[in-house]
Structure 1
Amino acid sequence: MPGVPSSKGCDACRKIKKKCDELQPCSRCRRLQIICVGSGKQRFKFKHADSKSTTGQTAVGKRRVVVPSVRAAASFQITMHIPDSELASSLIGTLKITDIRYALEYYGYFLKDIPRRLGSSAALDAAVKALVTAYPYFHSRDFPPEVLMHYGRSLRSLRDTLDDDIEARSVNTLCAVYLITICQSWLGKYDDQLASHGEAIAHLLRMADFTQIKSNFERDIIITLTVPVIIEAIVNPRIKMEPKFFQLVSDLNDNTPVSSQRSEIPRSSTKLPTIAKFPEWIRNLSPGDLPEIAAAYLRIRNDSQRMREYLDNWPVSGYTVMSSLVVMQRSRYQAGYATLITLGLMLNTLLRVFHPDNLMLSAEAAFFCDEIVLEAELASCYRPLGAAYIALCLVVAWAAAEDAYQLDRIDSILADYQSDFKEINWKERAMWLRRQFGSYQNMAGAEGTSNLGSPDSPRKLTANVQVSDGNSSPESCCMM
């Protein structure tokens, strides 16, 4: 039958032209300990056809595609507006992996909309090609030369695109940078001319025209990429974004529809413009920031308590299948909780700089560190992708921990998680952050506390201070 390949071998065997036994997983992939994708499945190729072609044709705009049969098209689960290309088919097949340990959905829901955008941007096409070529080898990390070749081509294509002022502003280019960053984290390649993809993403975000954002894809990718830019800005002073930008992104997020079911679940009420201040607070802390830091800390502390209670009451069932919906939902909620208490620990440590004798702050810091350790242990079964957020949480815990036993425990777990993404030296980042906290402690000790107000002064901050936002309404959720 035209357009229907006879082989049902897996993708890995087909790429190197080896015979596949079509088991699930096949013997070769099981022996090499790599992910087996597509074994035993029938594939279909959608081909261009002109008006003289025979049966089985349907028009899509100015394009005609050959559809083998209604049943075949249904089994492929692809809508007709998706480009009829082998690259799109490869990406769709990769996105179908639902095992939370390797599901690309971890990187953002908007990825599912990329196939229909292929063919309109050379940089995006090259980035997708690099991604789908590297993905089958992500588990073993034994990447063949073909993977490195496509990664290099994606970088060259991106550089050419960035030279075009119009294409450089395109959301497709922003998406290409993000996909290349994903490949970079898998391959551990940081020797290219783009020294920091975080800086490149920040630059493209600054160029974005928010008045032209009309689709969910454009909105979601900007919201998704803003958070890693904030995180990298903590340790990279070259990344600077105007407060107006974060307010625009926050407005985009506020306009995202929220179902009534989701609204009943306790979540963070800290808004993006507040999180965007973390890099400046950590790099250039001043006593004048303390009231705002205290208000943000109290909000995070209260939200985290409600989220912890919700997690404790989560039904204990359905956790054995890593591709089940209940596992995906719980893991995402765990990620939100772990991220929130990590933000709280950062603010707690900054407050303790000026109030080292506050026993409540010290007790809450120890509690947050213990919670991060617990979440790291619980999330270990989701590694590597489903628990990729844990390393950053452990970095903050390592930098903030005061108890020697607790620090040794965090250090051991961080070393274990280091093996997931070896190219990032998490311990080095933890040491930098600890030195940064230490420099503030030395500064506060040298200046004394006389200029910070007396214990009864309104400016004296403690963990149980009641902070009011006046008549303002609670801030909407921007995380998770």
Structure 2
Amino acid sequence: MPGVPSSRGCCACRKQKKKASSRICDQAKPTCGRCTSRGIPCVGNGVQRWKFHQKNFRDSMQVVTVTETPRPSLSNKTTKVASSFIHILGVEDVRYNIRSFGGQFFLDLPRRVGSSPALDLSVSALVASFNTHLRKHSKVDALAVYGDALEALRMSLANPTQSIGIKIYTIFNIYICQGIIDPEHNEIATHRLMLANLVQDAVSQGRLKEIDSDYMSGICQIILWESMINRKVQLGQWFWEALSTCSKSRPHEYQQGRTFMSLDIGVQAEAASYLREPERYIDQIQSVYDLMQLERPTIRNIVQQYSVAAMASSKIAKVTEIRVIYQIGYAHLLSLGARLNGALRKFNQSSELIKESHEIRDEAIMLASQCGDMRPFGSTFVPKFLKIIWASNSDPYRRQELEALILHYQKDFEGALYLKEAKWIKERFNAIAKGA
């Protein structure tokens, strides 16, 4: 069992086996005075150590030797946090399914409760945010819990001994919370930038293993989006090293073994990098755009098939789950396709590009219209891609319908200003393309 902290003296001084070893070692950096005078290596200088005492427990039957401190059981408070989150995980209605935001990450989250005060508070904030919608609980109370989670996150980020993985999971939870209860500031918040910085730190410090590889693809997707609107986020070698740790195969394999290169996060990341210097990389932009145009009809048809199947069997959760997976992939393809089309049209106002731009907008409006039955949680990806479609060019074609849909989805979360955000995103796109 753990005892009192031991000396911080270096190993050589501690070997003197004197009770006053801490006074023998002056703990000077980089080498203590005693080691300097003797010309010997100074190892373990300043390191915090704990003494562990072995205890024997005897009963009438046997002797049990305890040599390792067992992991403490969850307290009543942490048990309550975990159970309350498990309760909302049980909601299968796609409209209020919290897994729409995090999939496997949220399924794994209960087992992480108790590992960090900041993480626990972020989970409590998730539960409170969720209940403002499903059970109409007080938003004021939810905001108070959210504020506590933010403060705990600040302390966690300042703690160098805290696992980078736990910090990332906490930030992700708070990022989702903000989209639910404080959406007005979601786009301009720094959560995505913090994720990028932490992943970069994990790579540079050799600590990538602290981040579960099952979540790396989703984390990189968030970082990719931030790089498209924030010039500070450069997708350098660190990004590709992090992406290489993904547990899932690339390109992602969908139902029936289908793969689509245009939906691969690596391809999309390359395209995002090209869009920073469109004139220099115009040929590469054209190549990625051609790939997307090639695969778009197939993906569109699959989405249509699963949308029809989901309507016919609305009670079969698996069909709805597959439908949403394809719809999200399709949304990514349309939004990036619109960005690439807009970049190409600045150098080539061909009738073919204009026609394809209209097709992309038609399909975006159709997809958004099909997702109305999944509001509010199951369709959170919809306003995100609609904002990108709107911001990618100023073509008046069906622009009013696009804006009407953005405003329609804006009603799902009190305080959301999606159309205002779309205008801000357009400014960021233009600034990044100009190198600003």
TM-score (norm 2): 0.73
Cα deviations by residue, 1:422-445 (Å, 9 ceiling, x for unpaired): 54532233324545777899x9xx
- State the Cα RMSD in Å: 3.5
Corresponding residue of 1:151: 146
Change (3 A) 1:425 1:323: farther
Cα deviations by residue, 1:14-34 (Å, 9 ceiling, x for unpaired): xxxxxxxxxxxxxxxxxxxxx
Aligned-partner residue type, residue 123 of structure 2: V
Corresponding residue of 2:339: 346
Aligned-partner residue type, residue 297 of structure 2: Q
Aligned partners of 2:126 and 2:174 also within 8 Å: yes
Corresponding residue of 1:8: none
Aligned-partner residue type, residue 269 of structure 2: A
Aligned partners of 2:117 and 2:152 also within 8 Å: yes
Cα deviations by residue, 1:169-208 (Å, 9 ceiling, x for unpaired): 421111011111111111117789x952122212111112
Corresponding residue of 2:325: 332
Corresponding residue of 2:95: 101
When Rg is computed on C-alpha atoms for both structures, the one with the higher figure is: 2
> What aligned pairs does 1:77-476 form with structure 2 within 5 A after superposition?
85-108=79-102, 109-139=104-134, 143-167=138-162, 169-188=163-182, 195-209=189-203, 212-213=207-208, 218-238=212-232, 240-253=233-246, 256=249, 262=255, 264-282=257-275, 284-314=276-306, 316-319=308-311, 321=314, 324-356=317-349, 358-400=350-392, 404-434=396-426
Whole-angstrom CA distance in 1 between matches of 2:94 and 2:324: 8
Change (3 A) 1:335 1:154: same
Whole-angstrom CA distance in 1 between matches of 2:335 and 2:133: 28
Aligned-partner residue type, residue 427 of structure 1: L
Change (3 A) 1:245 1:423: farther
User: In the TM superposition, what is the alpha-carbon distance from 1:281 to its structure 2 partner?
Assistant: 4.3
Q: Give identity over the alignment, percent.
A: 24
Cα deviations by residue, 1:223-265 (Å, 9 ceiling, x for unpaired): 2122122213322233x13421221233223754999873523
| Mean CA deviation greater in 177-186 or 366-375 | 177-186
User: In the TM superposition, what is the alpha-carbon distance from 1:158 to its structure 2 partner?
Assistant: 1.1
Aligned-partner residue type, residue 294 of structure 1: Q
Whole-angstrom CA distance in 2 between matches of 1:106 and 1:306: 24
Whole-angstrom CA distance in 1 between matches of 2:410 and 2:383: 7
Secondary structure (helix, strand or coil) at the match of 1:204 reads helix
Aligned-partner residue type, residue 131 of structure 2: P
Which runs of no fewer than 5 residues in structure 1 stay unpaired?
1-51, 53-60, 66-79, 444-480
Change (3 A) 1:63 1:200: closer
Aligned partners of 2:263 and 2:329 also within 8 Å: no
Aligned partners of 1:101 and 1:322 also within 8 Å: no
Whole-angstrom CA distance in 2 between matches of 1:432 and 1:149: 28
Whole-angstrom CA distance in 1 between matches of 2:326 and 2:336: 15
Change (3 A) 1:408 1:125: same
Change (3 A) 1:425 1:346: same
Change (3 A) 1:132 1:299: same
Cα deviations by residue, 1:393-416 (Å, 9 ceiling, x for unpaired): 212222345653511111111111
Whole-angstrom CA distance in 1 between matches of 2:423 and 2:189: 22
Corresponding residue of 1:5: none
Which runs of no fewer than 5 residues in structure 2 stay unpaired?
1-58, 60-68
Change (3 A) 1:187 1:323: farther
User: In the TM superposition, what is the alpha-carbon distance from 1:267 to its structure 2 partner?
Assistant: 3.1
Aligned partners of 1:123 and 1:158 also within 8 Å: yes
User: In the TM superposition, what is the alpha-carbon distance from 1:301 to its structure 2 partner?
Assistant: 1.4
Secondary structure (helix, strand or coil) at the match of 1:354 reads coil
Change (3 A) 1:272 1:246: farther
Change (3 A) 1:440 1:359: farther
Aligned partners of 2:122 and 2:170 also within 8 Å: yes
Whole-angstrom CA distance in 2 between matches of 1:365 and 1:111: 37
Aligned partners of 1:399 and 1:433 also within 8 Å: yes
Corresponding residue of 2:64: none
Change (3 A) 1:385 1:440: closer
Cα deviations by residue, 1:115-168 (Å, 9 ceiling, x for unpaired): 11211211111111121223211247653543222212211111111111121x
Q: Give the length in aligned residue pairs.
A: 362
Secondary structure (helix, strand or coil) at the match of 1:293 reads helix
Whole-angstrom CA distance in 1 between matches of 2:212 and 2:295: 29
Corresponding residue of 1:465: none
Change (3 A) 1:85 1:177: same
TM-score (norm 1): 0.67
Aligned partners of 1:99 and 1:322 also within 8 Å: no
Aligned-partner residue type, residue 374 of structure 1: M
Secondary structure (helix, strand or coil) at the match of 1:253 reads coil
